[in-house]
Structure 1
């Protein structure tokens, strides 16, 4: 019998168990989804925040098994900090994404979500495209997917044609892309990479699984193109600031999310300026003025 409010590992496939962290919110939905992958020898993907309840739930989920590694998709603080507590408890290696590092090709004079990174993240092994973890019952392969963050990885579970998508693809909302670390140029390129794959299901860092990835990716790409068109329309109508554009484009969206919406608009503008469709009166920022070229 489980204690009240005790987190339970839910078996969602023969090789995957999911534990949802108790960190619900406007940007995390019901909480960060952590995944236990394999049987006997296991990996944990996206251990989540360093919350004792959550760490305890993950440790209970793997009782009697060997934790081979802790895999992290990216270093936002709702995904990576618990890796250190799990390593201390089990001795497992922290693997996956690299440490956060500021972009060197900086074009945006704005902090974005960079302060949201887990600056103490210290991976034992940085994984690159095609690197694999062999668990006996399961094979996990890394896929580089920059965009939401520059260090973002997805992880493919080859035996189930499944992809753990972190925050690159979410099951409840579109992904925030916030310059300077986030890049709409890189994000859209990563979406196109996924469209060339043949994964049958996505397990995101937040929200429910995506069971028709091909259709979902088409919808995401269409959404981003529609948002870009809306920005160009607002510029043509004379809205030359991000604040003015957000007020019109996101007028039916919860105002608590307008800050994130502004960063998404900035990401689109960075792309549009790079493509020489839009001009800016200063280095790209939330307070700049923009015009059509």
Structure 2
């Protein structure tokens, strides 16, 4: 399929989507920037540092003022274009806190944007007020990264990388935290949002159903890991090869990070322990 790059796609009144040309196994067809509002706009997740994508955002503004540039988190496929967009429009960068960490070992998905510099950091429940009474509400959703935010606009939720309809979310330590991610999924489960607009992939039109399924999937993966390490002590590559048969080799590092995140959560709960040779096993207390 031909991805609609650099084209402003109306989604519903007051919401437009623009797709950046940065496809990959982790971004699907690319990062989606959203413009919300009517006479005054907010740009959500301006995307990677691609001049043609910034130009497409500016064209989509069509002379209307940009009230803010809102970033869900600081991976390099989400926030770097905030600087060029701020320079072009004068709009402040508002949203997640700055964060620049490297994961243990090589990273398969996008690394952190070390130059991200927000003018204002939003805490959970704080808002961006714009366009004569419109409001963008920050919903703290740590897990994929510790600084991740979703943004609610009416009954629509812009979910960044926290929930995506086309793929599960990468959770890679040390900053990715599985326990925090599960709690954040539960936060969304308790909300009544009509639709999700993720940063990658199609809109989620049955969000409550999807979130319930995601929680179930993660619990199933947890039980699978527990069964594997109960059979014999295993290192992470052994667990990945057993739990993800036939996995695309490009995704193996991400799967290893996810398994490690699960193991750290299980260790905190006293269900597994690390042994010699970087091998993991069930604790005697867990049965």
Query: CA separation in 2, counterparts of 1:120 and 1:64?
Result: 28
C-alpha contact 1:111 1:179 (8 A) present in aligned 2: no
| Per-residue Cα deviation, 1:29-60 (whole angstroms, up to 9, x for no partner) | 00001000001100000000010110010000
C-alpha contact 1:228 1:268 (8 A) present in aligned 2: yes
Quick check: 1:10 aligned with 2:9?
yes
Quick check: 1:133 aligned with 2:128?
yes
- Of residues 121, 126, 129, the one that matches 2:116 is 121
| 1:86 Cα offset (Å) | 0.2
Aligned to 1:65: 64
Query: CA separation in 2, counterparts of 1:24 and 1:246?
Result: 25
Aligned to 1:235: 229
| 1:252 Cα offset (Å) | 2.6
Query: CA separation in 1, counterparts of 2:203 and 2:148?
Result: 19
Structure 1 stretch displaced more, 252-261 or 11-20:
252-261
C-alpha contact 2:5 2:19 (8 A) present in aligned 1: no
Q: Which aligned runs of 4 or more in structure 1 are off by greater than 4 angstroms?
A: 111-115
- Residue 281 of structure 2 aligns to a residue whose secondary structure is strand
**Structure 1: segments with no counterpart, 5+ residues:** 104-108
Q: Write the mapping of 1:123-272 to structure 2, written as runs, cut at 5 A.
A: 123-135=118-130, 136=132, 138-158=134-154, 161-272=155-266
Query: CA separation in 2, counterparts of 1:6 and 1:197?
Result: 32
- Residue 116 of structure 1 aligns to a residue whose secondary structure is coil
CA-atom RMSD, angstroms?
Answer: 1.8
- Residue 53 of structure 2 aligns to a residue whose secondary structure is helix
- Of residues 285, 290, 293, the one that matches 2:280 is 290
Quick check: 1:35 aligned with 2:25?
no
C-alpha contact 1:112 1:181 (8 A) present in aligned 2: no
C-alpha contact 1:37 1:138 (8 A) present in aligned 2: no
C-alpha contact 1:191 1:217 (8 A) present in aligned 2: yes
Question: Against the structure 1 CA distance between its residues 291 and 16, is the aligned structure 2 distance closer, same or farther, given a 3 Å change threshold?
Answer: same
Question: Against the structure 1 CA distance between its residues 190 and 6, is the aligned structure 2 distance closer, same or farther, given a 3 Å change threshold?
Answer: closer
Q: Write the mapping of 1:54-93 to structure 2, written as runs, cut at 5 A.
A: 54-93=53-92
| 1:63 Cα offset (Å) | 1.8
C-alpha contact 1:111 1:180 (8 A) present in aligned 2: no
| 1:172 Cα offset (Å) | 0.7
- Residue 175 of structure 1 aligns to a residue whose secondary structure is coil
C-alpha contact 1:38 1:137 (8 A) present in aligned 2: no
- Count of aligned pairs between the two proteins: 278
| 1:115 Cα offset (Å) | 7.8
Aligned to 1:106: none
C-alpha contact 1:102 1:181 (8 A) present in aligned 2: yes
Structure 2 length normalisation: TM-score?
A: 0.93
**Structure 2: segments with no counterpart, 5+ residues:** none
| Per-residue Cα deviation, 1:215-239 (whole angstroms, up to 9, x for no partner) | 0001000100111111111112225
